[in-house]
Amino acid sequence: MSSVAVLTPESFAEHRSGLKDQDMSGCVPEDEAYIPTYLEAFPPLPEKGAPGEKTGEPASAWGGKIRPIKASVITQVFHVPLEERRYKDNSQFGEGEEAKVCLDIMQRTGAHIELSLAKDQGLSIMVTGKLESVMKARKEIVARLQTQASATVAIPKEHHRFVIGKNGEKLQDLELKTATKIAIPRPDDPSANIRITGTKEGIEKARHEILLISAEQDKRAVERVSLEKAFHPFIAGAHNRLVQELSQETGARISIPPPSLPKDEIVITGEKEAVALALSRIRAIYDDKKRKTTTISVEVKKSQHKYIIGPKGNTLQEILETTGVSVEMPPLDSGSETIILRGEPDKLGPALTQVYAKAKSVMVVEVTAPAWLHRFIIGKKGQNIGRITQQLPRVHIEFTDGEERISLEGPTEEVEQAQAQIQEIIKDLLVRMDYTEVIIDQRFHRHLIGKNGANINRIKEQYKVSVRIPQDSERSGLVRIEGDPKGVQLARRELIEMVQRMENERTKDLIVEQKFHRTIIGQKGEKIKEVRDKFPEVIINFPDPSQKSDIVQLRGPKNEVEKCGKFLQKIIADLIENSFSLSVPIFKQFHKNIIGKGGANIKKIREETNTKIDLPTENSNSEMILITGKKSYCEAARDRILAIQRELANIKETEVAIPARLHNSLIGSKGCLVRSIMEDCGGVHIHFPSEGSGSDKVTIRGPVGEVEKAKKQLLQLAEEKQVNNFTAELQAKPEYHKFLIGRGGANIRRVRDKTGARIIFPSPDDTEQELITIVGKEEAVRQAQKELECLVKNLDDVVEDNMVVDVRHHRHFVCRRGQVLRELAEEYGGVAVSFPRTGANSQRVTLKGAKDCVEAAKKRIQEIIEDLESQVSVEVAIPQRYHRAIMGPKGCRIQLITREHEVQIKFPEREDSAAGQKRQEAPPQENGEVSPEAEFVARKCDIITIAGRVEKCELAKAALLALVPITEDVEVSYELHRYIIGQKGSGIRKMMEEYEVNIWVPQPEKQLDVIKVTGLVANMERAKQGLLDRVKELQAEQADRALRSFKVTMSVDPKFHPKIIGRKGAVISQIRKDHDVSIQFPDKGDEQQDLIVILGYERNAEEASQAIRQLVAEWQEMVSQDVHLDPRTHARIIGARGKAIRKLMEEFKVDIRFPQPGSDEPDKVTVTGLPETVDNAIDHLLNLEEEYMLSVTETETLAAYMKPPSRYGGGGGAGADDGSGGPAKGFVVRDAPWNAAGNKQAPDMSSAEDFPTFGTSVAPKQASAWGPKKF
Instruction: For residue range 285-342, list pLDDT tens digits in order.
Output: 888 888 888 888 888 887 777 777 777 788 888 888 888 888 888 887 777 888 888 9
- Spell 646-668 as b/e; 16+ CB within 10 A means b: eeeeebbeeebebebebbebbeb
CA nearest neighbour of 948 among 907, 909, 902, 888: 902
Q: Are 1009 and 973 in contact (CB under 8 A)?
A: yes
Instruction: For residue range 633-674, list pLDDT tens digits in order.
Output: 888 888 888 887 776 666 777 788 877 766 666 666 666 777
Question: Does the pLDDT of residue 1028 top 80, yes or no?
Answer: yes
Helix axes 454-463, 485-503, angle to 10 degrees: 150
Pick from 580-584, 1099-1103, 1257-1261: least confident? 1257-1261
Mean pLDDT for the chain overall? 78
- Residue 949 gets which letter from DSSP? -
Question: Does the pLDDT of residue 43 top 70, yes or no?
Answer: yes
Question: Does the pLDDT of residue 389 top 60, yes or no?
Answer: yes
Question: Does the pLDDT of residue 71 top 70, yes or no?
Answer: no
Residue 1165 binned pLDDT confidence (cut-offs 50, 70, 90): very high
CA nearest neighbour of 289 among 225, 340, 236, 354: 236
Mean pLDDT, residues 254-258: 85
Q: Are 719 and 713 in contact (CB under 8 A)?
A: no
- Residue 300 gets which letter from DSSP? -
Instruction: For residue range 841-880, list pLDDT tens digits in order.
Output: 788 888 877 777 888 888 888 888 887 777 788 888 888 8
Question: Does the pLDDT of residue 1213 top 70, yes or no?
Answer: no
Distances (CA, A) of 548 to 510, 528, 539, 544, 1023: 15, 19, 21, 7, 53
Mean pLDDT, residues 880-884: 81
The CA-to-CA distance between both ends of the chain, in Å, stands at 16
Q: Are 159 and 173 in contact (CB under 8 A)?
A: no
DSSP-assigned beta bridge partners for residue 776 = 726
CA nearest neighbour of 867 among 819, 809, 788: 809
Mean pLDDT, residues 1176-1202: 79
Residue 55 binned pLDDT confidence (cut-offs 50, 70, 90): very low
Q: Are 1100 and 1077 in contact (CB under 8 A)?
A: yes
Model pLDDT, residue 4: 36
What phi, psi does 628 have (nearest 5°)? -130, 140
Cβ-Cβ contacts under 8 Å for 385 (sequence gap 6 or more): 377, 378, 379, 397
Instruction: For residue range 603-631, list pLDDT tens digits in order.
Output: 888 888 888 888 888 777 777 888 888 88
CA atoms within a 13 Å half-sphere pointing along the CA-CB vector of 388: 25
Model pLDDT, residue 47: 54
SS3 1002: coil
Q: Are 982 and 990 in contact (CB under 8 A)?
A: yes
Model pLDDT, residue 1219: 42
Instruction: For residue range 896-913, list pLDDT tens digits in order.
Output: 888 888 788 888 887 754
Q: Between 182 and 781, whose confidence is greater?
A: 182
Give the type of residue at 860: R
Q: What is the 3-state secondary structure (H, E, C) of 1218-1263?
A: CCCCCCCCCCCCECCHHHCCCCCCCCCCCCCCCCCCCCCCCCCCCC
The Cα–Cα gap between 1176 and 339 comes to 81
Helices (H) and strands (E) in the chain, counts: 46, 47
Q: Between 24 and 916, whose confidence is greater?
A: 916
Q: Does the CA dihedral 1177-1181-1182-1184 come out positive or negative?
A: positive
Q: What is the 3-state secondary structure (H, E, C) of 729-769?
A: EEECCHHHHHHHHCHHHHHHHHHHHHHCCEEECCCCCCCCC
Question: Does the pLDDT of residue 713 top 80, yes or no?
Answer: no
- Residue 937 gets which letter from DSSP? -
Instruction: For residue range 472-484, list pLDDT tens digits in order.
Output: 777 888 888 888 8
Instruction: For residue range 98-116, list pLDDT tens digits in order.
Output: 888 888 889 888 899 888 8
The Cα–Cα gap between 765 and 769 comes to 9
Model pLDDT, residue 91: 56
Question: Does the pLDDT of residue 27 top 60, yes or no?
Answer: no
Model pLDDT, residue 399: 82
Model pLDDT, residue 1250: 61
Instruction: For residue range 73-106, list pLDDT tens digits in order.
Output: 888 887 777 777 777 765 556 667 788 888 888 9
Q: How far is CA 329 from the centre of its chain?
A: 64
Question: Does the pLDDT of residue 933 top 50, yes or no?
Answer: no
DSSP per position, 1093-1155: EEEE-HHHHHHHHHHHHHHHHHHHT-EEEEEE--GGGHHHHH-GGGHHHHHHHHHHT-EEEPP
- Residue 922 gets which letter from DSSP? P
The Cα–Cα gap between 762 and 943 comes to 45
Instruction: For residue range 557-571, list pLDDT tens digits in order.
Output: 878 888 888 888 888
Question: Does the pLDDT of residue 802 top 50, yes or no?
Answer: yes
Provide, rounded to the nearest whole percent, the portion of the chain with pLDDT above 90. Answer: 0
Q: What is the pTM of this model?
A: 0.30
Question: Does the pLDDT of residue 1270 top 70, yes or no?
Answer: no
Instruction: For residue range 411-448, list pLDDT tens digits in order.
Output: 878 888 888 888 888 888 877 788 788 888 887 787 78
Model pLDDT, residue 923: 46
Distances (CA, A) of 1046 to 290, 316, 854, 1041, 1043: 124, 105, 84, 9, 6
Mean pLDDT, residues 205-219: 81
Instruction: For residue range 734-791, list pLDDT tens digits in order.
Output: 777 777 777 667 777 788 877 877 787 777 767 777 788 887 777 788 888 888 877 7
Model pLDDT, residue 524: 79
Question: Does the pLDDT of residue 1134 top 70, yes or no?
Answer: yes
